[in-house]
Chain A
Amino acid sequence: MSLLHIAIFAPLLFAIFIPFLFKRLRLIHTGWFVFGLSIILFIYFLQFLSDIRDYEIQETIDWIPSLGINFTAYVDGLSLLFALLITGIGSLVALYSIYYLSKEKEDLGSFYVYLLMFMGAMLGVVLSDNLIVLYTFWELTSFSSFLLIGYWYHKERSRYGAQKSMLITVFGGLAMLGGFLLLYLMTGTFSIREIVSMTSDITADPFFIPALVLVLLGAFTKSAQFPFHIWLPDAMEAPTPVSAYLHSATMVKAGIYLVARLSPIFAAQGTWFWLVAGFGIFTLTWASFNAVKQTDLKAILAYSTVSQLGLIMSLLGVGAAALHYSFLDDNLYMAATFAAVFHLINHATFKGSLFMVVGIVDHETGTRDIRKLGGLMQIMPITFTIALIGTFSMAGLPPFNGFLSKEMFLAAMVNVISLDIFNMETWGVLFPVIAWIGSVFTFVYSMLLLFKTFTGDFKPEKLEKKPHEAPFGMLLPPIILGALVVVFGFFPNILSASIIEPAAKAIAPVLIDAGQEYNSHISFWHGFTPELYMTIGIIIFGAFLYVTLPTWGKIYRRFPEKLSINYFYDQGLIRAESGSRGLTNSYMNGSIRTYMIYILISFVGILTFSIIRKDAFSFTTEGLAPIGLYEVVLGIIIFGASITILVAKSRLTSIIALGAVGYTVALFFVLFRAPDLVLTQLVIETISVALFLLAFYHLPKINRKEERIGFKLTNALVAAGVGVIVTIIAFSALSNRLFESISQYYVENTAEKAGGFNMVNVILVDFRGFDTMFEIAVLGIAALGIYGMIKLRLSRREDL
């Protein structure tokens, strides 16, 4: 147990104490403790910054060593970047939530337990080297996210959103587990770094592409890529600190992390490039297009998050192309990976601050609907300033950090045109075009978010509260994030050397040999490049679209509801439910006869199939006893008696015929030399008939009028099938005697060892006495049961 492990488990362990702190220390807001813990963790992870440039840190504790499952914590640039995001934004969110959530009205104990659970799980995801451990923490993030979305569980929409996110992310998580297991089958290890070192051996494996697709399913569902993005807007029912933390800065980036982490294994594949870059770029444009029509501030931000995640995803996809160009300097596609990491940080800063801003607006006005908001600039100047920084950065305007990463993104997309692999000569030109369209819409919704909220007419009559500026504590976290947006915008290289380069090195380790350095491209951000003209185009065209929104905005209403993915999801759930109900109702009809028919038909079917399949039917008359006259006569009696039962209209006839069959069987026992059986059979048949007659007296007449011809025909067919198959099996069993009977032992030893002369009785009480003991038990239980049924008459109680 190293300090690193303790750091990962610290939030989970601390979560145990939260309910006590909440109950005992009512005066102090529980969030302060959480804030303290995350700050400590943040500082702890900061100290790795100097180490990871030179070497990687690895610590192992055994979990299930026999299965190769050990908790190996592993710190390199990529995991450190995520760990810093998680703990850094985690502390700011904790601070924000102290002012956002009321100490008196809310169940803070549960809230911080869930939040810490999530933080620990997320640290585990990004810091573990073992795939199974990663999967365990991965599901814990889904689970804690489910709890947090459903935090206000009395609201129906919360429960709907929680369920939806759970279904979608767990679906992806399970697919991902499948991919991990396939990787294990190919390599024999769960360790990511060992798998990376074996990559060249497994690329030709037939499991390789299925593993790739399954892992990507996990990443796409978690990171809300098209068409799995639908859970994210509904997850906005969570409290705003949760939306800021989970659904913009950390959890939704777990998929990005997975793609980046497994890039060294899969990135050389054309499938990977196409799926990651293609789905990413489509998600970017689709979501930014949809964000414009939203009227709820958090919904805009949700679609914006989806869109930005698509942007990062597509950059990672394009970055994968770097592996096909062995030179490192001036490797344009390596720049894409670099841009992906840079934008990841930028997005976490500005999206976190924007969510907090929206939370403040909601908190101070009582609504998040942009149709009701407006003119808040004078009332909330600080909030407005932060929102301005955030939205301008999101739209990709200078001088904020979003501008830089957007430029790098556009540059990477332009470079796709010059790719000469994966058929990109023909299709590559689509990438910059789609990216540009997506960026235009990004500009439009960013401006909508800012100006519809803070400028225009102030409508106090539509607001539930009288708005005023938020308390300073609530403003502090977004101010810090906003400041970071500006700082990273003006001094991007403080990031590039310290964290982005090690992270990019972790994503593409093949390209960067030991000792070789990849020098960042952020330094040359001056100059008239194609992407600069594209940005100017975005601003001009975006501004035009923003002004003319009332005219062209009508096309959203023309978009058919039935083509939306939410409609498919909802209908799919309803259909799955009604379908399975219909299926169950169709065969579980409650009638014993139907179930008997299923059982018997399967019995006949399976036996027939196996007899035909194994060619098991055989028929010999060798070694059989000759047919005697007496047996034939008895056989005819049994035939006759059985037919009598079948056609009998009266109960008495049936019972007497059954008795006749029983006595004839006793006579068969006489002929086949079984004296004990004869005695037992005679006695028991007599008692049985007596019992039947007793019951006969109480039971009603057999009513066969309702049995139609079809009913009888089905029964007759099933019955004939059973009869024939039993006969055939009897034939085959008689003809395939594999070995001699063991009876000779009993014949020889009955007198000698057991001191008896009646072999059957000696077997029953001596050689195989246990059977007899439990047979006695059966009779005893039957007797007690009968006694109980007759004697105990509990009247039907209401509560039964």
Chain B
Amino acid sequence: MEIFMSVLIGFLFASAVYLMLSKSLLRIIIGTGLLSHGAHLMLLTMAGLKKGTVPLLGEQAKAYTDPIPQALILTAIVISFGVTAFFLVLAYRAYQELGTDNIDEMRGTE
């Protein structure tokens, strides 16, 4: 299972990088979104999958899945959301001010 997930994550990273190298701001932001999905899945996968039940003590199970990566991912999700939201508004404002969303036209050469 982990092997399959690793390949999937690699693919998510590749797509994200491809999008981030394009010229349109919107595609770059979509790329960062995909990149954070890949990173979150990677965190989860690296801790090992399906080793036990949900990390709630009420379950009274013999083994639980590792709670630490889940806590880390939760933090990461919130932060990447904050950054994405900021970035989107920044793109919106940049477009309003500069009249373009093509990053090649945004070079600060003046």
- Report if A and B associate in a common complex: yes
- Interface, chain A (partner B; CB < 8 A): 590-593, 596-597, 600, 621, 623-628, 631-632, 635, 638-639, 642-643, 645-646, 651, 654-655, 658, 661-662, 665, 668-669, 672-677, 680-681, 684, 687-688, 691-692, 694-696, 698-700, 702-704, 706-707, 714-716, 718-720, 722-724, 726-727, 730-731, 733-734, 741-743, 746-747, 750-751, 756-760, 763-764, 768, 771-772, 775, 778-779, 781-783, 785-786, 789-790
Nearest A residue to B27, CB-CB: A702
User: What are 22 A-to-B residue pairs whose CB atoms are below 8 Å?
Assistant: A593-B22, A600-B17, A638-B8, A638-B12, A661-B33, A668-B44, A674-B55, A675-B56, A677-B77, A688-B33, A688-B85, A702-B26, A714-B21, A715-B18, A719-B17, A726-B13, A730-B10, A730-B45, A741-B68, A757-B57, A763-B67, A789-B90
B57 closest partner in A (C-beta): A757
**Chain A hits for B41, CB < 8 A:** 665, 668
Partner of A722, one of B14, B78, B89: B14
A756 to B58, CA, bound (A): 10
Which B residues from 1 to 36 make CB contacts under 8 A with A? 1-27, 29-30, 33-34
Specify which of A696, A703, A759 is in contact with B67 (CB 8 Å cutoff): A759
Tell me the minimal C-beta distance from B52 to chain A in angstroms. Answer: 7
- Closest CB in chain A relative to B80 CB, distance in Å: 9
Verify B34–A687 contact, CB threshold 8 A: no
Q: Give the interface size bracket for B toward A.
A: 35 or more
Are A665 and B40 closer than 8 Å at their CB atoms? yes
**Residue of A at shortest CB range from B10?**
A727
Report whether B55 and A758 are in contact in the complex, using a CB–CB cutoff of 8 Å: yes
- Whether A673 contacts B53 in the complex (CB less than 8 A), given A719-B14, A723-B14, A763-B71, comes out as yes
B21–A715 CB distance below 8 A:
yes
Which residues of B have CB within 8 Å of A782? 82-83, 85-86
Known interface pairs A631-B4, A680-B78, A719-B14. Does A673 touch B67 (Cβ–Cβ under 8 Å)? no
Determine whether the beta carbon of A691 is less than 8 Å from that of B85.
yes
Query: What's the nearest-Cβ distance from chain A to residue B41, in Å?
Result: 6
**Residue in A closest to B28 when the chains form the complex, CB atoms:** A592
Alpha-carbon distance A680/B86, docked complex (angstroms): 19
Residue ID in chain B nearest A732 by CB atoms:
B6
- Interface hits, B69-110 → A, CB 8 Å: 70-71, 73-75, 77-79, 81-86, 88-93, 95-96, 100-104, 107-109
B100 surroundings in chain A (CB, below 8 A): 700
State whether A764 touches B23 (Cβ < 8 A). Answer: no
A624-B1, A662-B37, A789-B89 given; 16 more Cβ-contact pairs under 8 Å: A590-B109, A625-B51, A635-B8, A639-B8, A646-B19, A675-B54, A677-B70, A677-B73, A688-B84, A703-B24, A714-B21, A727-B6, A743-B67, A756-B57, A758-B57, A760-B70
With the chains together, A676 CA to B70 CA distance in Å?
8
Say whether chain A's binding surface is mostly helix, strand, loop, or mixed: helix
A651 to B23, CA, bound (A): 14
The CA-CA distance from A22 to B56 in the complex, in Å, is: 84
List, in ascending order, chain B residues with CB within 8 A of A760's CB.
Answer: 55, 67, 70-71, 74
Determine whether the beta carbon of A642 is less than 8 Å from that of B104.
no
Residue of B29, B48, B56, B103 with most partner-chain A CB within 10 A? B56
- In contact, B70 and A779 (Cβ under 8 angstroms): no
A71–B94 Cα distance when bound, in Å, is 61
| A702-B27, A719-B17 known; A661+B11 contact, CB < 8 A | no
Asked whether B50 lies within 8 Å of A645 as measured between CB atoms, the reply is no
Contact A672 B49 (CB under 8 A): yes
B84 to chain A minimum Cβ distance, whole angstroms, is: 6
B33 touches A730 (CB 8 A): no
| Bound form: Cα–Cα A719–B7 in Å | 14
**In the complex, what residues of B have CB within 8 A of residue A743's CB?**
64, 66-68
CB distance from A586 to the nearest CB of B (A): 15
**Does the CB pair B70–A593 fall under 8 Å?**
no
Does B75 lie within 8 Å of A764, measured CB to CB?
yes
- With a cutoff of 8 Å between Cβ atoms, the chain A residues found around residue B96 in the complex are 698
Asked if residues B24 and A674 are in contact (CB atoms below 8 Å), the reply is: no
Q: Which single member of B10, B19, B48, B82 contacts A726 (CB below 8 Å)?
A: B10
A747–B92 alpha-carbon span in the complex (Å): 45
